[in-house]
Amino acid sequence: MPYETVLLERDGNVALITINRPDKLNALNPQVCRDLLGALNEAACDDAVGAIVITGAGDKSFVAGADIAAMSKMSPMEGRAFADLGHAIGDTIAGCPKPVIAAVNGFALGGGTELAIACDVIYASDKAKFGQPEVKLGIIPGFGGTQRLARLVGLQKAKELVFSGDTIDAAEALRIGLACAVFPHAELLAKAKELARRMAAAGPVAVAQAKRAMNHGYDLPLPAALELEKQTFAALFGTHDQQEGMGAFLAKRKPTFQGK
């Protein structure tokens, strides 16, 4: 279905979601958040899609942050509702059984960094900029940044970035583990789609369960996390895809997964 502020396209088995407000540097407002939620859910429910890439329209910005003009008029209740929308996006990405890749093609500030770090993998252009500048506006990150950032880069580095509001470039994001890889600007989207296709070619049930085990196990004590892995590993032996994958390997042919 068409969305007001987001484009959803399919390229083979990869869904591309483009936040489409280039005149506003793709800033997030409630409408963008609702459209993004709709596009994510539509792609997640499409059986022909094996992986999702999120990027921003234009050549300057992934998401330059939340729309400050819209936020400046919000009451505390409206601010909470806006935060709920942002968290719903992160929860939807985490709960999506398909890998979600952020292709950060420019500014990813505030809500832009938070959207990126909610994704499973961040690929960045060499022109990308990351930061959580909310304290400079008298607020804090409200779309998951105070929690997810520390889980990626460590608590001390996250505090440095959040408390200062500093912006970092792609090379520094790569160095601290915020970005997974950095590519020349013109190659970014192709590289993100290449990764998405490799992920989409794997067993979809296995990928979904690996994502679930890794996301749920990350905050568990290690013995409980390892038990979750064992249970998930064992359960996959009852799937068609496990039989197909191993049978194809032994027969030296390409597997035909059915997602069941």
- Which residues are designated catalytic? 114, 134
CATH number for 6-200: choose from 3.30.360.10, 3.90.226.10, 3.40.190.10, 2.40.110.10. Answer: 3.90.226.10
Q: How far is it, in rounded angstroms, from Cα 13 to Cα 233? A: 25
Q: Any residues with CB less than 8 A from the CB of 156 and at least 6 apart, and which?
A: none
What are the sequence ranges of the domains in the chain?
Answer: 6-200, 204-250
Amino acid identity at 65: G
Please state, rounded to an integer, the average pLDDT across all residues of the chain: 96
The average pLDDT across 129-147 equals 97
Which of 56-60, 65-69, 122-126, 138-142 shows the lowest mean pLDDT across its residues? 65-69
Q: What is the mean pLDDT of residues 103-114?
A: 97
8: β partners: 17
- Residue 60's pLDDT band, with cuts at 50, 70 and 90, is very high
Name the pLDDT band for 175 (thresholds 50, 70, 90): very high
Quick one: pLDDT at residue 91? 97
What CATH fold (topology level) applies to the domain 204-250?
Lyase 2-enoyl-coa Hydratase; Chain  A, domain 2 (1.10.12)
Phi and psi, residue 218, nearest 5°? -60, -40
